[in-house]
Structure 1
Amino acid sequence: MPRYKLTIEYDGTNFSGWQVQPEARTVEGELEEAFSKVVQQPIDLIGQGRTDAGVHALGQIAHIDLPEGTDPDKLIFSANRIVSEEVFIHSIEEVTPAFHARFDATFREYEYQLISTYSPLNRTRSVLLPREYDSNLMHQAATLIKGEHDFAPFSKFNEDNYTTLCTVLDSEFEETKGLLIYRIRANRFLRNMVRRLVGTMIKIGEGKLSLTEFEAALSDPSYEIATQTAPANGLTLKKVHY
C-alpha cells in the first residue's frame, strides 16, 4: 500500500495527549477514526512522537498506509470535515514505503509561551509568569542547555529510553510585547523534558535556584536538583525536520 506523510495542527487543550489510550479522547484516536470512516477499513496512524495532555502542535508529523486507489486529497478533505475543529490536517504527500515518521526524524522544535500579564485570549496557549522574575538569568540558563547533555534530571523516567542523552542545537528566550517565548531545537526529547527545563528556568528567574546548580545538573545526571514542571498548555510542537 502507498505510504503518505501528514502534517497536522491541533489545540491539545481538551485532549488526553496524542497517543491512543483506552477510554480517553486523543488526537491520534480521533484521526484514526476519521480515516477509517472515509476508507471504510481500519487505518493505523504512526506519529513522530507523543505529546502530553494539554500540549499543542503546529507541525505534528505522522504517516499512514492507504489502500490502492485512494485519492489522498479527497481523503484529507473528508477527514477534516469529520474531526473536531481542534484538529486540522494541513497536508498529505506520498513518501517511500521505507519512510517512518518517528525513526526518520532528525530534529524537532518546540516553543513554550509565557506571559507577564494575564490574558483570557491566551490562557490556553500561555502560562503566566511570576510577579517578580529576572529574565536575564533565564536567558543565561537557556544558553547552558545547548550541546549534548544527559537530561535524565529534567525528564520523567521511562524504562523504554535507550539513552537519556540529547543534543540541543538551539535554546533561547525571546521577549516581545509582554511575551517571553522559549524556543528549543534538538535531535530528540525525553518525556516532560521541555516543561521541566522551562519550569526550572522560571525558578532560576525567581532566585529560587542558582545557575551553578542548574549547570551542575546538566553536567552530572546524578546531581540532585529540585526541578519544577511547567504546565502543559504553554507548550507547542512547532516543527519536525527530516
Structure 2
Amino acid sequence: METTKNRYFIELAYKGTNFHGWQVQENAITVQEVLNKALSIVLREDIETLGCGRTDTGVHATDFFAHFDTISTIKITGSDKRKQEIDHDRLVRSVNSLIGYDIAVKRFLAVKPEAHARFDATARSYEYHLYFEKDPFQLEFGYLVKNNLNVHAMNEAAKVMMTYTDFSCFSKSNTQTFTNNCKISRAEWVNVGDKLVFYITADRFLRNMVRAIVGTLLDVGRGAITFEEVHKILESKNRSEAGTSVPASGLFLTKIEYPETIFLVRG
C-alpha cells in the first residue's frame, strides 16, 4: 500500500555567488542539491525539492520558495495536534545547521497536495543593484557603473516595456518555454542611498530576461539608444537587437506571491 505523503513549501534565502544557480546540475554545486541533501538527512527519507523558478549562476534570492513531499508531518502552529510529529522550529534549525552560511531556511508551510511552487506563483519580483564608486563590499552584490546615467530616460524606456507582452528579445535562445509572453506590473529605477535600484515585477520571467532588460535600459541611460528605439527592439523579437546582459552579481529575486487558497496553515 502506498504511503500517504504531505506537501510543504519551504521558504529560504541564499547568496548565489558560490553556486551555479538553483537547479541541480552535473559537476556543479547548486542550491537545490545542497537543500535536497540536508532535508533528506534530517527527515530520513529521499527528498527532492521543486523550486519556484531557476536562478542563474551568481544570482541571489532574498525570498525563494520550493515544494517537496514527505511521509513526515511537520508541527506548524494551528495544525491538528493529533498529527504533530516534527517540531517546526527544530526542523528549521536542523536543516540550517547542514546547509552552510550561504543559504538560510526561514520556515515551512503546509499546503494542499496539488500546490506547486512554480505554477501557482502569481507574481515574482526582482531587484537589480547598481553602485557608482569602487567598493569591495559591493562587488558580490551589485554592478559598478562608471557612467553618468539619464535615469529619467531609463524610466521612460521602462514604461515602454510595460506596454508589451512578448519579450522574446530579452530571452536566451533554445529555452523550453511554450510562450515568451509575460505581464509586467512594475518596472522602475529608484535611488536608494548611494545606489540605483531597478525594481521589476511580473507574472513570470524568461531566462536571462531581467539582466537583458537592465542592459538595454543602461544603453538608454548612457545615450547609446533612445527610449523610442526600445519599441523597435521589442518588436524585433530578436535577442541580438537588445543590450548586453549585465552581470549576475547585482540581481536579487526578492518576492514570490501565491494565492492564499493553496495553504493549509500559515506558520
- The match for 1:99 is 115
Note the 1:171-190 alignment, pairs <5 A. 171-190=187-206
Note the 1:96-135 alignment, pairs <5 A. 96-135=112-151
- The match for 2:79 is none
Segment drifting more, 207-216 vs 66-75: 66-75
The structure with the largest alpha-carbon Rg is 2
Q: Is the 8 A contact 2:125 2:202 kept in 1?
A: yes
- Residue type of the alignment partner of 1:20: V
Deviation digits for residues 95-134 of structure 1, max 9, x if unmatched? 1111000110111000000112122111111101132322
- Residue type of the alignment partner of 1:62: A
Q: Give the aligned CA root-mean-square deviation in angstroms.
A: 1.5
Q: Mind listing any 5+ residue stretches in structure 2 that lack a counterpart?
A: 74-84, 259-267
SS state of the match for residue 30, structure 1?
helix
Q: Is the 8 A contact 1:213 1:225 kept in 2?
A: no
- Residue type of the alignment partner of 2:243: T
Alpha-carbon distance, 1:173 to partner: 0.5
Alpha-carbon distance, 1:140 to partner: 1.3
SS state of the match for residue 197, structure 1?
helix
- Residue type of the alignment partner of 1:10: Y
Pick one of 204, 207, 210 that aligns with 1:191. Answer: 207
What CA distance in whole angstroms lies between the structure 1 residues aligned with 2:235 and 2:132? 31
Q: Is the 8 A contact 2:211 2:251 kept in 1?
A: yes
What CA distance in whole angstroms lies between the structure 1 residues aligned with 2:129 and 2:211? 11
Note the 1:204-215 alignment, pairs <5 A. 204-215=220-231
Alpha-carbon distance, 1:191 to partner: 0.2
Q: Are residue 241 (structure 1) and residue 245 (structure 2) matched? A: no
Residues 25/211 of structure 1: CA separation in 2 closer, same or farther (3 Å cut): same
- The match for 1:30 is 34
- Count of aligned pairs: 242
What CA distance in whole angstroms lies between the structure 1 residues aligned with 2:251 and 2:230? 21
SS state of the match for residue 203, structure 1?
helix
- Residue type of the alignment partner of 2:117: A
What CA distance in whole angstroms lies between the structure 1 residues aligned with 2:192 and 2:116? 37
Residues 135/81 of structure 1: CA separation in 2 closer, same or farther (3 Å cut): same
What CA distance in whole angstroms lies between the structure 2 residues aligned with 1:31 and 1:149? 34
Segment drifting more, 14-23 vs 74-83: 74-83
Segment drifting more, 184-193 vs 150-159: 150-159
Q: Are residue 229 (structure 1) and residue 233 (structure 2) matched? A: no
- Structure 1 residue runs of 4+, over 6 Å off? none
